[in-house]
Amino acid sequence: MEQPVLKVSGLETHFFTDDGEIPAVDSVDFYVNKGEVLGIVGESGSGKSVTSLSIMQLIQAPGKIVGGEITYKGENLISKSEKEMRKIRGNEIGMIFQEPMTSLNPVFRIGNQLIEGIRIHKKWNKKKAWEHAVSILKLVGLPRAEELMNEYPHQLSGGMRQRVMIAMAMACEPEVLIADEPTTALDVTIQAQILELMKKLNKETNTSIIMITHDLGVVAEICDRIAVMYSGKIVEQGKTQDIFQHPKHPYTIGLIESVPDVRVRKDRLYSIPGNVPKPGSIHKGCHFAPRCNFAFDKCYEENPTLLDAGPAQQARCWLHEDAKKAAVLERVKS
């Protein structure tokens, strides 16, 4: 069996605020194989970004990783020192952020920012790093790469900046690329181009990608597998196709139902009733129970574990404890 490149198990990242300890990421498990694209999907505040920053060990106070393991190539990243982590960041694991407008430093030239990481990790001289940076800019499909190297971020459009961000993250050929909502701030046409580019890079360089997004369209486009997050926990995971065709968790069903379909005219779009619970306000039972149409007594008493719900699919829902209950979901779907 294939050994995953990156494996997260039992990750707990809590925020220590004046209002008490808030578990933003609560016992999260997932893995990503070599060359695979994993989507992590969820609403705002579900803990997606905190998860990705935890992997990079870039969580800032008052946040802190309080438990779990992040295994990269057999080594636990959590026990690594800051110095050891610096060798991994940008080199082994690259990261792209949501806001291309603010994620590049406005007072340094593109070239300066691009070669910085290359020079740190590859220890190349300036000339060699510069040439490599130009070739990476060409790889991500930016025209007139040589000129761009001498320009400042404000001279570029949003789509170009995001390409530069991708170039920066890919510059040292990382094993894993974490993309935190890379298309959210972009126009739809540009979004498609960026996704196309990431797909291409994934195929050509065999880099594993963790795609963090709230956009199911993005997931369907690019991901091999999906993990759905809700309120700091993974509530369902499986192959993309399986999850889109047979979602096994009521929350996933709701999410998929909420996507408007151009072929069907509806007066009202579907939305999941209620709101994401405020982090820290959760008591016992399933966190989704108050918004769930299928909730029964047990859901309010005990928090479900991830249960097998298909050949390669798990859902954190008590319905899957016995087949009769799970059948309810199928009926609703059709």
Partner 1 sequence: MLAYTVRRLLMLIPVLFGMTLIVFFMIRAIPGDPAQVILGQQATEEAIKSLTKQLGLDQPWYLQYIDYIKNLFTGDLGTSLRTSSDISGEIWPYLAATLELSLVAMVIAIFIGVNAGIISAWFQNSWFDYTAMVLALIGVSMPVFWLGLMEQWAFSLELGWLPSTGRENVRNPVDAITHLYLIDTLIQGRMDQFVEVVKHLILPGIALGTIPMAIIARMTRSSMLEVMRSDFVRTARAKGTKMFWVVYKHSLKNAFIPVLTVIGLQMGLLLGGAILTETIFGWPGIGRYIYDAINFRDYPVIQSGILIVAVIFVFINLIVDLLYAAIDPRIKYN
Q: Binding residues for partner 1, per CB under 8 A?
A: 56, 58, 82, 86-91, 94-95, 97, 99, 102-108, 116-117, 120-121, 152, 154, 165, 168-169
82 versus 322: smaller Cβ distance to partner 1 = 82
User: Which residue's CB is nearer to partner 1, number 164 or number 317?
Assistant: 164
Cβ at position 99, least distance to partner 1 in Å? 5
Nearer residue to partner 1 within complex by CB, 72 or 251: 72
Between 82 and 267, whose beta carbon lies closer to partner 1? 82
Instruction: Please state the closest distance from residue 105 (CB atom) to partner 1, in A.
Output: 4
CB nearer to partner 1: give 13 or 237.
13
Shortest Cβ distance from residue 98 to partner 1 (Å)? 8
CB 164 → partner 1: shortest distance, Å?
A: 11
> Which amino acid, 141?
G
As measured in angstroms, the least distance from the Cβ of 259 to partner 1 is 29
Minimum CB separation of residue 61 from partner 1 in Å reads 9
Q: Output the smallest distance, CB 227 to partner 1, in A.
A: 21
Minimum CB distance to partner 1, residue 167 (Å)? 12
Closer residue to partner 1, CB minimum distance, 101 or 256: 101
Instruction: For 53, list phi and psi in degrees, rounded to 5.
Output: -65, -30
**Does residue 62 have a cis peptide bond before it, meaning omega lies within 30 degrees of 0?**
yes
| Rounded CA separation 68/126 (Å) | 40
Query: Using alpha carbons only, what angle is made at residue 318 by residues 313 and 321, rounded to the nearest 5 degrees?
Result: 70
Would you say 94 or 159 has its CB closer to partner 1? Answer: 94
Treating both helix axes as pointing N-terminal to C-terminal, what angle do 110-122 and 126-139 enclose, rounded to 10 degrees? 110
Name the residue nearer to partner 1 (CB basis): 102 or 241.
102
